Amino acid sequence: MNNDTNSLQAIRKAIETFQNVWVPANGGTETEFVSRTGKRLLYCYNSALARHAYLDLGSDIILTDDEACIALGLY
């Protein structure tokens, strides 16, 4: 197996076992992008919290909903 396959399997296992970890959303298929404000973000999911959020890859911090809206340039 290649690294991508191993990574996807680890992400799916974390989701299935409801571990309190943030993983790339949509079954591990989300990729990073640069927001309108210049932040590198990754859309993630935490199965233990049943919640989606954006991870700021520059600071390695999960953004609050308000922070995400600002980073995305929504207001």
Number of structural domains (the chain) is: 1
Q: Please give the residue range of the domain that contains residue 55.
A: 3-71
Sign of CA dihedral 5, 10, 15, 20: negative
Predicted pLDDT of residue 18:
67
> How far is CA 32 from each of CA 6, 16, 18, 48, 69, rounded to the nearest angstrom?
19, 23, 23, 22, 16
Give residue 1's pLDDT band: very low, low, confident or very high (50, 70, 90).
Answer: low
CA–CA separation, 22 and 20 (whole Å): 7
Does the predicted model carry a pTM greater than 0.95? no
Residue with the bigger pLDDT between 5 and 63: it is 63
Helix, coil or strand: residue 3: helix
Within a 10 A sphere around the Cβ of 5, how many other Cβ atoms? 9
